[in-house]
Structure 1
Amino acid sequence: MATILCYTSPARGHLFPTMPILLELRRRGHDVVVYTLLEELPNVRAAGLRARAIDGHIEAIQHDDYEASSVVGALDRAVQTFVARAEHEVLDLREAIRTEKPDALIVDFNCWGAAAVAEASSVPWALFMPYFLPWRLPGLPPFGPGLAPRSDLLGRVRDSVAASVVHRLVNRNLPKLNAVRERVGLPKLGHMTEQGRTAPRVLYYTAEPFEYPCAARPKSVIMLGPSVWEPSAPEPAWLSSIDRPIVLVTCSTEAQGDGAIIEAALEGLAEESVFVVATSASAQRSAHSVPSNARVERFVPHGPLLGRAACVVCHGGMGITQKALSRGVPVCVIPFGRDQHEVARHVEVAGAGVSLDPKRLSPERLRAAVREARKRKEGAALVAEGFARAGGAPRAATEVEALMQASRRSPGDRTALQSRAPFGGAQS
C-alpha cells in the first residue's frame, strides 16, 4: 500500500473533480490524504478519505478577477492570486510531506508554490488540470480571450496579436513566480506559459471533441474526460412532483457577481413550458419573487436534476459545464471571467450549446439562448461519447501507479519519471 498526498487550491471546482480519482486509488488499496479547503473536510472524510486543511493564509487570498474591466485584465488578476498563494503553499506542502511521508504527490495545477515543491522533491508527482491548458501550443489560439481555432493566415495573425497582449500582461508576474522557484532550488521559467510543463504527468479533466485537437500536445498530458463527484445527499423530495423538462441554472461556487444569471432566468423563462431549478451557490440575489415554474436553492445535488434536464444555464465553470455535457445535456453559458470565456467558446465550437455575453444579458435574450441551446442536443451527445471513451478515474489511477512503479525501478533517477517527454510529442 502506498501513501498518496493530494494538494488542492481552495476551490470546490478543483477538489470535486479530483475526488473520483482519489476514491479509485483508495479502492485499489492505497492510503490517500487530501489537503484542501477547510469547509470541505467533512465531505471528504465522509467519502472515506483522510483530509487536512490547507494553510488558512491561502484561503484568505480570494479571487478578485471578476472586478476587472476586461477578459485579459481578469486573467492578470487570477495570475496575481496564484502567485500570492504560492509563498504559503511552499511551507504548507513541505510540512505535509514531512508529516505524511507520501509515496506520490498529486497537485492542483493552480498551486504554483506546491507544484514547485513537488518538482524539487524526490517524490513521484503529477499535476491535475481541471480547466483548459494555458500553454502555448502550435495551432491553438492563446488561452484567455476565448478565441476559436483558425488555421488560415488571418487566424494566425489574430493569434499572434492576441498572444502578444495576453502574454505581456501575465508575464509581469514572472519575477515573483521565479522567486518562489529559486527559493526551492528550481531554475527560472522563461515565460509564464511554461508553468507546469515539467510535470511527469498532467491529469487533464477533459477530452476531444470538447477539447480542440492538437498534435503538439505533450505526451505527459493524459486526457481523462471529466471526473464527476458531489457530496452525498438525498434526492430532493420535491423533484418527483415536477412534470416538465428541467432547466438547471447555476452560479459559481466562488464569488464573481454572477447572480444576474438567476434573475434573468426566472423572468425570461417564467412563461416557458419548463421548470427552472436555480442554485445560487456563492451568488447574492435580490429578493425578487420566484415564479410558479421555478425553485431557488443555494445548493442542490446536480446529479438527479441532470437526469431530467433539457438544458443547463451556467457561468461556464468547467465543472458544471462538463458535468452537463457528460450526461448529453446542452448548455447555455454566460461567461463572467477566469477560464469561462474559453469554456463558452469550446461549447460553441463543439456544437453542444450556445454562449451569451453577460453584458448583453436580459430575460429576453436568455430565453432565446435557451431555446437555441436545446436544439444542440446532438452535439452534447457527441461530447458525452468522447468523455466516456477517455478512461476517467481508472485511467488516472493507473497513471499515478505507473509513476510510483517507475520510481521504484529507478530510485533517485528523475529521468525515469519524465518518460513521457513533457516538452514534446503527441497525445497517445
Structure 2
Amino acid sequence: MSVFARALHRAGADTVLACGPDFAHLAEEAGTGFAELIVTRNANTGIAERTEQAAGEAARLREFLEATRDGAVPALFAQARHRRADLLADPDGVRERIAALHARLRPDWYVVDLLAHSAALALYCLGLPRVTFCPGHPGYLPADDTSWFGMPTAWPRAIRPDPAELERLRAAVIGNDRMFTELFATVVRRVAPHRPVPRRAFALCSPHAVVFNYPDLPWLPALPPGAGEAVRIGHCVGVGEEPGPGEAPTTAWEERLASIGAGPGGRPLVLVALGTFLSARDDVLRAAAEGILAHCPRAAVVVAAGNRTAALLPLLAPGGPGGGRLLVADSVPQRALLGRARAMVHHGGNNSFTECLWAGVPAVVLPFSSDQFAVAHDAERSGAGVAVDPNLPPEELARRIGRAVARLIEGSDGAAEVMARVREGGPLRGARRVVRIMAGLPGTALDAAPGGGTAPGRRPTGDGDAEPDVVVPAG
C-alpha cells in the first residue's frame, strides 16, 4: 500500500498514507503525507513472532501456525474460524475514526485494502468515493455465487485435498460469507439506512476501480457484478518510469554473500524465505536448506529464518552441510537479493510471487494457507515455478525441494513472456490509470457529518496545508 501511495503521489495526486504509528516511516519514505489511523487489531511489523500483539491475536497466531502442520484444509479451517475477529474488528470505531479523518482532511477519494473490511464498510456507509486495492490473489474477490472467500480458486498439482474435507471447508466458508453479509447488512441498516445493503460482504468493492497487485493472467477469475475497472499492476516493487535493475545489496550484504561464494560470478544463489508469519515453520526452512545443499552442490543458500535462526544453526556447525555455502539471517533484503538469485523457495505470498516475476527468478512454491494455493497454481501454469507440499515427511520434502531447485537453476526460463509483461507494468502506470478514472468524479462530502448535519465542502486543513486528493488507509 505504501508503494502504491508513492506511485499515486508520483502520478500527480496529493496523497496521504493513513496507518498506525509503527508504519509512519513508510509515509516519509514514500514522500506522502501521514495521518494516524488504526483499522485492525492485528499487528505485524516485520517478523510476526516478535511483534507485540494483544493476547487474543497472539493465541490465534499460535493456533494458525499449529494448524499449518496438519495440512492445507486444517490451516484454511483455522483461518475460517478466526475470520470475524481478524477482518471485521470494531466497525463502529473504525467508521468514527475515518469520519473524523475525512472531516479534517477532506480528500476527494480513498484507496482501501480489500481485506480491511471494517474500513471498506465504513467508506461505503459514509458514501465516500473509493478505489479497492487487492493485495493478494484476485480470487480473494468472489466472482459469482460459486466462489467463496477462504476457498482457493485453484490448487497446484502437488496438493489435492480429500473431497470430503473440501466439502466441510466449503460449508464453513459459505457460513462465513452469510454471517459477514448479515453483519454488513446490520451495520448499513443501522448507520446508513439510505444506502443499499450489499448483496455479498466479501464482494463489496469500488464501482470505479479495483487495483490488483498481480499480473494479468488469462485464466484469472472475473470481477463480481458492479465492480469497477480492473487495473492489474503486476507488482509493487518500485515506482520508476521504466523497469530497472532494482536495488543493489548493501556493502555489508555484499560481504556476506562473498563469504558463501555468491559474489558476482560466483556460486548460483538460492534464496529461501517463507514470509513474516511462516518463518516460524523452521522444520520447513531446515528441510529446504538441507535439500538444496545436498542436491545443488554448486549453489549457495541464504535463508530468512525470522525468529527461528537458532533452529538452523546445527547446519552451520563445523563439518555440517552448510559449511561455506549457507547463510542464515533473521531477515534479508529480498528484492536486492533477487537481483542476484538463480532461484527462490517461498510460501506463495503475493509479494514473493510478483517480486520473483519482476526479477525473472523461478521459484519453488510451498503453499500453506490463504491464497497461497492459487498463487502456487498460477506459478506452475505460467511456467514461473513448481509447487511442493510443505507438509511432506522431512526427508522427502528436502529431496523434492532440492531436486526442483536444481532443475530451475539448470533449466531454461519457461515464463519469459509473463515476466516481461510484469516488468512492463508496475504501480506508477497503474496509479496513472487510477488517477484518470477518478479525475471525473464530482466533489464529495460525508452523507452525515460527525455530530449531525451535512459536511461542508473542501476547505484548507487545520494546519493550513491544501487538502489531499487521496487518502490511503493502510492499517
Taking structure 1 as the reference length, what is the TM-score of the superposition? 0.77
Measure how far apart 1:327 and its partner are: 1.4
Distance 1:181 1:244, change over 3 A: farther
Give the Cα separation in 1 of the matches to 2:250 and 2:279: 28
Alignment pair present for 1:208 and 2:249: no
Q: Is the 8 A contact 2:234 2:422 kept in 1?
A: yes
- Between stretches 50-59 and 217-226, larger displacement belongs to 50-59
Which residue of the partner structure matches residue 419 of structure 1? Answer: none
Q: Is the 8 A contact 1:268 1:367 kept in 2?
A: yes
Q: Deviations over 1:124-160 (max 9, x none)?
A: 310111112323436997664545489xxxxxx99x9
Measure how far apart 1:356 and its partner are: 1.3
Measure how far apart 1:101 and its partner are: 1.9
Q: Is the 8 A contact 1:89 1:111 kept in 2?
A: no
Q: Is the 8 A contact 1:106 1:127 kept in 2?
A: yes
Give the Cα separation in 1 of the matches to 2:28 and 2:132: 22
Question: How do residues 8-27 of structure 1 correspond to structure 2 at under 5 angstroms?
Answer: 18-27=1-10
Give the Cα separation in 1 of the matches to 2:118 and 2:380: 34
Distance 1:140 1:304, change over 3 A: farther
Q: Which of the residues 297, 302, 307 maps onto 2:329?
A: 297
Unaligned 5+ segments in structure 1 are: 1-17, 151-156, 415-428
Distance 1:333 1:74, change over 3 A: farther
Which residue of the partner structure matches residue 4 of structure 1? Answer: none
Q: Is the 8 A contact 1:251 1:283 kept in 2?
A: no
The residue type equivalent to 1:98 in the other structure is A
Measure how far apart 1:318 and its partner are: 0.6
Q: Deviations over 1:72-93 (max 9, x none)?
A: 4144145321023645432332
Measure how far apart 1:377 and its partner are: 4.9
Measure how far apart 1:246 and its partner are: 0.7
The residue type equivalent to 1:234 in the other structure is T
Alignment pair present for 1:83 and 2:88: yes
Q: Deviations over 1:46-97 (max 9, x none)?
A: 3422334432862347463444452441441453210236454323322322
Does the residue aligned with 1:269 lie in a helix, a strand or coil? Answer: helix
Which residue of the partner structure matches residue 455 of structure 2? Answer: none
Alignment pair present for 1:333 and 2:365: yes
Unaligned 5+ segments in structure 2 are: 43-53, 157-162, 239-245, 317-321, 448-475
The residue type equivalent to 2:171 in the other structure is V
Q: Is the 8 A contact 2:279 2:304 kept in 1?
A: no
Alignment pair present for 1:358 and 2:390: yes
Give the Cα separation in 2 of the matches to 1:368 and 1:23: 40
Q: How many pairs does the alignment contain?
A: 386
Measure how far apart 1:295 and its partner are: 0.8
Does the residue aligned with 2:352 lie in a helix, a strand or coil? Answer: helix
Question: How do residues 60-139 of structure 1 correspond to structure 2 at under 5 angstroms?
Answer: 60=54, 62=57, 64=61, 65-68=64-67, 70-77=74-81, 79-80=83-84, 81-84=86-89, 86-133=91-138, 134-137=140-143
Measure how far apart 1:255 and its partner are: 5.5
Q: Is the 8 A contact 1:336 1:358 kept in 2?
A: yes
The residue type equivalent to 1:79 in the other structure is R
Give the Cα separation in 2 of the matches to 1:39 and 1:375: 43
Which residue of the partner structure matches residue 45 of structure 1? Answer: 28
- Between stretches 245-254 and 265-274, larger displacement belongs to 265-274
Which residue of the partner structure matches residue 227 of structure 1? Answer: 236
Distance 1:121 1:193, change over 3 A: closer
Measure how far apart 1:278 and its partner are: 1.2
Q: Deviations over 1:307-348 (max 9, x none)?
A: 211111011111012101111111111112121112111111
Give the Cα separation in 2 of the matches to 1:206 and 1:169: 28
Give the Cα separation in 1 of the matches to 2:247 and 2:280: 24
The root-mean-square deviation of aligned C-alpha atoms, in Å, is 3.6
Measure how far apart 1:106 and its partner are: 0.8
Does the residue aligned with 1:58 lie in a helix, a strand or coil? Answer: coil
The residue type equivalent to 2:232 in the other structure is M
Give the Cα separation in 2 of the matches to 1:309 and 1:139: 42
Q: Is the 8 A contact 1:259 1:285 kept in 2?
A: no
Q: Which of the residues 394, 417, 421 maps onto 2:428?
A: 394
The residue type equivalent to 1:36 in the other structure is C
Does the residue aligned with 1:202 lie in a helix, a strand or coil? Answer: strand
Measure how far apart 1:178 and its partner are: 3.3
Q: Deviations over 1:371-406 (max 9, x none)?
A: 2444665233222122134x3223322233234422
Question: How do residues 179-194 of structure 1 correspond to structure 2 at under 5 angstroms?
Answer: 179-185=186-192, 186-194=195-203
